[in-house]
Structure 1
Amino acid sequence: MSIDYIFTAVFDPDQGPVLQYQFPRTGHYDFRFLAEVMLPDRIHERNEDWLQFFLHFHEDLQSFSLFPSVTKAIKGPDGSKVYHVLNVIHTKREQLAKRNGTLSAMAICTSFPHVQVLKPLLDSAWKRFDASPSSLTLEHVFKELCSYDFNSFTLDVSLNSSVILTLNDFHRYINSESQSQKSLMRTASHSRSFHSSDKKIPPTKVLLSSSTYGKPGTITCEVPTVFLPECVGEYDISNLIQTFINSSLPLSKYTSSLPIDEAHTNPIIVLINSLLLQKRVLFLTSKLPAHVLTSYVLSASALASGASGLLQGYLNMTFPYVDLSNVDELLKLPGYIAGAMNPTFQYHQDWWDLLCDLDNCIIHVSPELTKKNMSFRNLELIASVPYNQLSSINKLKEHTEQQLISDLQKMLIHRNKELLVRWRIRSYLLSFIRKAVSYEYMFLESSPLNPHIEKYKVEGFGWFWPDRTSGVNELSLMAGKFEEWRKTKSYENYCHRMANTDISVALYMDVSYHLDRLRLQAVSSAEAARIYLALEQYIQTDEDITYLLSLCPLHEGGLTIISYGLYHISTIVREKVVKLLEKVSRHKYGQIFFSCLSEVDKLMYASIKSYLE
């Protein structure tokens, strides 16, 4: 890993925040604007704090900025490279000093996305610099930090592989003790790259212990080996949801203009819809430390992505900390996810669409939303879908917003709540995308979200309903949300990725659609046979199997939905399912999923396979 820059800043009683030193020193770029961010509001109230934020390098302008290109912030490629900055702040109480103390900060800038794990190293670097503050000391500290190569631990795997590795609890199913011991023994002097071809499930984190400045064993960093797009920093989605899920209803004041069900929308649904439609979402606190604030902001960005990089483009509109000096640039953006510590933001309701008050655990909807363009239509877009208008929706209620809230409330008391919450958010947003595919194809006659439909060898795609009327009714109710989402960068990004997918089975059939039909519908034996035969025929490559496994989380039964085919009435279907499971069992991750099948399923598999041989 390479640290690109290191900075220090101080608070000057006469000038305010000032950038003190930087290394490497270069006259090409002006970093003086960093001082305001490195010394956040109200920092003098705490002895120490830390925060994470982003820097955007604009290649066309050859300059750094806290903000992406305004014209490209929501749609289109940004043309800028994102750097991750970790900043530690220290307050010293000194009676003889001006204002009775000093404020200082040190920050490192790197392209390494898991910069938060470097905090122990940065704390050590700060102590060394503080003992002898000078540009020469900073240079020595910079070179020491650059001696670590964290990138060598990163797995070079696909997005679906990352989803499998980070959102499944393999420790329940494999003897992880020996693997964890091996992973925890990695050191800086013996680092190596992990190869995705390894047959064992690779560790998602390694513990790095190393000596620093001649003091052995004093520094340890827990380094992630897997990267999920949009999911960076110390994010905790379950904590974000727990903070607001039982708070007052943000749309209740608009009962005179909204149907009762929409006015009573849970605050989490309001937050998810606002993030999905890329509204201006501001997190505000005047009591919590800066690192807690930035954790909430980064958690919101991860939440918007489906907790797994399912939707992308949010980091370009995420600003973990902003102050009043950034307001003009912030307001140029059509949407953002930001954090602030100055109470002034609360009183400027035209600066935000959604205000997440962390001190009082309340979400506020800006009255200014009702004054824009189509008035209360803006409120309807972030409210719940009025499912009470659909007579047959209860048959598929698992994917309604009300059921999502009910599931989340149960998961929040579970021991493994963060993993379960992430999976649930991912499945909810995946159902939204699939309904959007159905909407586009039904009303627009084609879907950029899935441009391969016309070439499908197996009929069926998107979402499914008990009958066509039910589908038309639900999609009509959701039309406003779909049309608003179609204007966003996350929509454009998803369309681009689908058009360029390297998953061959996705060119022939909608695997997610057919798996859910097996799970949720009482399909006929003929229909089940058609699905199982198609899965065996078109799932051929390792990446196809990886994609299949990413749709079959272990805590929801894993490959059980496939093993049902072992009991099909047709001998041909049973034999094809055995062949499909055999392919999966040879896969680097599939072997674990296969081992998690019930003993009865394994016996049936072995019996049919023995007969075939």
Structure 2
Amino acid sequence: MGGSNGSHCSFVLLAEFHIFEGAQLKYQFPQPLGVDESILAMSMLPDGAEAQLDDWTIFFLNQTPFNTISPVLALDTPETQSIDLPGNDDERGKKRELLCVLNLVRTKHDKTLDRGAKVMALAICTRHPYIQIFKPLLLMALDDYFSNPSQDCLARLFDAVNAIDLSGAPTLSRSEKLIMRSSERKDIFVEKFANLPSQPAAPHHGSRMVQHKSTPSTDSHSSFEDGLLMRSKDRDKPPERSGPSSNGSHGQPGSYSPSDSSFSLGGSAVWVGDESGLDLAGGESSSTTSSSYTKDTTITATSRKRRSTGASSSSSHLLSHFKPSAPPQPFPDHARSNPVKDTHFYHTTVAYKDHHLPIKMPLGTFPEEVGDYSLITLVKVFSSYQQVTGPLHPHLHTNGAQTHPIIILFNALVTGKRIIFLGHKRPAGEVSNFVLAACALGSGCGAVLRGFIERAFPYANLRNRDDWESVPAYIAGVTNPIFESSKAWDLLLDISTGNVSVAKEIHTNWPVGISIQISAPLITRSGTLKTEASVGSEEEIARIAKEGSKSDFAFKDNNADRIFIDDIRAAIDDHFGEGLVRMRFTEYVMRFVRLASRYEEEATGSTKVGFPSSPFSESPGHLPQLGSGLSFNDEASCWRELVANGHRIEAWRKTNSYQYLVADYGKHQANAAIKGFDLVHQLMRFRHAKNMTDSEALTIMRALADNVGSYEQVVELLASLPHGNGLLFLAFGLLHPRELVREATVDIFDQLRTFPVGVLFLQALNQFQRYAYVRQAHAKERKHLEQQGGPGNGPSDSTQGQQGRLHSNSVVSDRSNPTY
């Protein structure tokens, strides 16, 4: 994050509309940019600006030779080096860093003027993608200029922006950002704010429990893999619960209760002695650990009062005998008792004249997501496949004529098509937001792919048409309907009507199979997997497109995409938030990449963007070998998906986005904290395997226990967990019939418990799983003490009987327990 080194704002620009000369760039502070002033002025004063009182637009600099800045003074100082794009050193080292321009346009009506109004625009150029934090400053600065028009206003704005002190903001890794984005807890990573006294404290809410609303469907807020493999037939049927009901009576007086103080960390306990729930600092319920924790992991307690979990518990004498398997990391006691308002943001202030404006800098932003975009709005506007017109193309229509417009848009983004968002008589800022949302959609909200922002033109016009149309695979937002009649686009989306148009010349511009070269034929166990290489001339392509489903080249029924869109629409209809929708799209793009890796392996014999696919194997005299790659329940479903996605994957492999991912994947593997096996594959096996052998379960658990110890390894594991389920599926290992599996699971959870973020995930488990962990962890420690000749006072027979009954009831009550 930038500090107070003057790197937040590079330039301040002011433009105004002159009645005779048109749009004019009046000021450039602190120096001229060296870009065509008329292009800058037209970008700052969009068409129809006089019809809007206020409008926000966004555009970028340093994308093309036309808009690359070349100021008199050199800007290549250490303070202005590029922000942390993943893997940007090699590929982008020769390019100037992309600058985001946030522009405010205002129309002030005045009957004394010739046109009856004065139109002005004020913009700042910044390297930060979270440009929305500067909006309050721009509003005040433009008001200041209207009342006293002079360059001094620009200087004050420039100095105020660069005076913002963000040097104390925590810098999060990619894994930490993924964890933060999936959590609604306002104290996530609060330990990183421990030494920041300027952060205001959150109000204390006592023991009030915040509970997620119920939803009639588990599909609408489950993860993408859940939507594929665990889809419910009846959306209105309430989901079965894996935990005890809220009116259960498992916490009876006199029952064995492990020490809550021995499992406390910074005031937050994994277990509560009376087994009725948790009392977290700041009043947050453990059910808010994730924005979409499914109902079977949510702790429901509407009629119980929470008991505080102080270190003076009656069972605290066990603390002297129980020690975690790894020493806890230093963690200040006051950190969780006095958290910041919301750890998703870094809170600071900026002084402008006599005002102190609050600034909330988001900490989980990736470089590919710029500004305040909304995927929910994007999905709502383009919601029906019946509004899609134009010919079918295998790169775009992965589900034939019924392909959803959002899937068509995603396919166009990843396959490098030219895309235009049209908003006739709509504010230019509205069109800009759709372009930014599309970039986030293609990149998996910045967490998976990149290369979209560098070819995005959120507001484009006739004046700079040669500029943006010269960029291959541009993503442009326009307000002039003249672009609809041009032939310079492959996909046009009208934000006013929701209509999506595929260019009539799409097959001419993107002939399928003409330049496709595959090094090895796709021969499968069941026959030949046909790809673009098997398609001949353009006449054959046109014939196939007309025949549709009657052809072998038919657009296969891609159930995965259809189910994904149904789940997204259900989540929106059930009023789930933007954060959940973004996480679901991130999972979707992650799965697309893993599927592409499998396809690439089958097509070429190897893959550059993932682990090679292999099942779990064991043979006498050899150590068991863990599986890797994207796994399927059966081979038939694997080949169906590969066939349905083959064309868009082949097209994606020819884009810059793919080349960026090849470089990023190599760097990620070199710097990964958990090495030697495919972590995501193992977690997916616990989640979806229909029949898992005891040997595989033990091998996976042992591999995790042996390779998850450091903080970096813990956060990498937590970031890879299925979104919306947390540790749920790993916790099933606590109920496994084999003792070695249970012990390995306890070892993993012991490592998680040594870090504050791991404690939060443990708190989100249901009551049975938390109790099973605490009970087995105490049993393990007592066993260890007995072997060392310690006190060895085991539980009484009655206590053992109660534990046995609880273990049995837990297995029976947990209906989502998979079959190993």
Short-chain TM bin:
0.7 to 0.9
SS state of the match for residue 459, structure 1?
A: coil
In structure 1, the gaps of 5 or more residues are 66-72, 187-195
Counterpart of 1:204 (choices 326, 337, 344) is 344
Tell me the distance in 2 between the aligned counterparts of 1:133 and 1:467: 70
Work out whether 1:356 is the aligned partner of 2:362: no
Map of 1:426 onto structure 2? 586
Work out whether 1:227 is the aligned partner of 2:365: yes
Map of 1:160 onto structure 2? 175
C-alpha displacement at 1:79, in angstroms? 1.4
Question: What is the letter of the counterpart of residue 354 of structure 2?
Answer: G
Tell me the distance in 2 between the aligned counterparts of 1:405 and 1:333: 30
Equivalences for 1:177-576 in 2 at 5 Å?
Answer: 183=199, 203-209=343-349, 211-215=351-355, 219-246=357-384, 248-250=386-388, 254=392, 262-348=400-486, 350-372=487-509, 373-374=511-512, 400-450=560-610, 458-501=625-668, 502-504=670-672, 507-522=675-690, 523-552=692-721, 556-576=724-744
C-alpha displacement at 1:536, in angstroms? 1.7
Equivalences for 1:78-89 in 2 at 5 Å?
Answer: 79-89=95-105
Q: 1:21 to 1:381 in 2, by over 3 A?
A: farther
Tell me the distance in 2 between the aligned counterparts of 1:139 and 1:260: 53
Tell me the distance in 2 between the aligned counterparts of 1:377 and 1:185: 67
1:166-186, Cα deviation, whole Å (9 max, x unpaired): 22222599999x999984579
Tell me the distance in 1 between the aligned counterparts of 2:775 and 2:154: 68
Of Structure 1 and Structure 2, which has the larger fraction of its residues in helix?
1
Q: 1:325 to 1:164 in 2, by over 3 A?
A: same
Tell me the distance in 1 between the aligned counterparts of 2:103 and 2:457: 14
1:213-258, Cα deviation, whole Å (9 max, x unpaired): 124x5x3333223322311201111111111123634157659xx9
Tell me the distance in 2 between the aligned counterparts of 1:361 and 1:247: 10
Tell me the distance in 2 between the aligned counterparts of 1:364 and 1:507: 46
Q: 1:289 to 1:605 in 2, by over 3 A?
A: same
Work out whether 1:127 is the aligned partner of 2:294: no
Map of 2:106 onto structure 1? 90
Tell me the distance in 2 between the aligned counterparts of 1:147 and 1:104: 25
Query: Which is bigger in relative contact order (C-alpha 8 A, separation at least 6)?
Result: 2
TM-score (norm 2): 0.65
Tell me the distance in 2 between the aligned counterparts of 1:424 and 1:596: 20
Q: 1:561 to 1:486 in 2, by over 3 A?
A: same
C-alpha displacement at 1:124, in angstroms? 0.7
Work out whether 1:579 is the aligned partner of 2:747: yes
Map of 2:759 onto structure 1? 591
Map of 1:8 onto structure 2? 14
C-alpha displacement at 1:59, in angstroms? 11
Question: What is the letter of the counterpart of residue 438 of structure 1?
Answer: R
SS state of the match for residue 248, structure 1?
A: helix
Matched residues, percent identical?
27
TM-score (norm 1): 0.85
| 8 A contact 2:613–2:629 mirrored in 1 | no
Of Structure 1 and Structure 2, which has the larger fraction of its residues in strand?
1
1:468-504, Cα deviation, whole Å (9 max, x unpaired): 4543443234222211111122211222121112554
Question: What is the letter of the counterpart of residue 474 of structure 2?
Answer: Y
Alignment size in residue pairs: 581
Tell me the distance in 1 between the aligned counterparts of 2:591 and 2:160: 48
SS state of the match for residue 11, structure 2?
A: strand
What do you get for the CA RMSD once the two structures are aligned?
3.9
Tell me the distance in 1 between the aligned counterparts of 2:104 and 2:443: 28
> Which of structures 1 and 2 has the bigger CA Rg?
2
Tell me the distance in 2 between the aligned counterparts of 1:60 and 1:277: 25
| 8 A contact 1:313–1:493 mirrored in 2 | yes
Question: What is the letter of the counterpart of residue 24 of structure 2?
Answer: V
C-alpha displacement at 1:211, in angstroms? 4.7
Tell me the distance in 2 between the aligned counterparts of 1:118 and 1:315: 20
Question: What is the letter of the counterpart of residue 421 of structure 1?
Answer: V
| 8 A contact 1:6–1:24 mirrored in 2 | yes
SS state of the match for residue 323, structure 1?
A: coil
Tell me the distance in 1 between the aligned counterparts of 2:398 and 2:358: 53
| 8 A contact 1:452–1:507 mirrored in 2 | no
Question: What is the letter of the counterpart of residue 735 of structure 2?
Answer: Y
Tell me the distance in 1 between the aligned counterparts of 2:728 and 2:757: 16
Tell me the distance in 1 between the aligned counterparts of 2:665 and 2:469: 32
SS state of the match for residue 526, structure 1?
A: helix
C-alpha displacement at 1:6, in angstroms? 0.7
C-alpha displacement at 1:21, in angstroms? 0.9
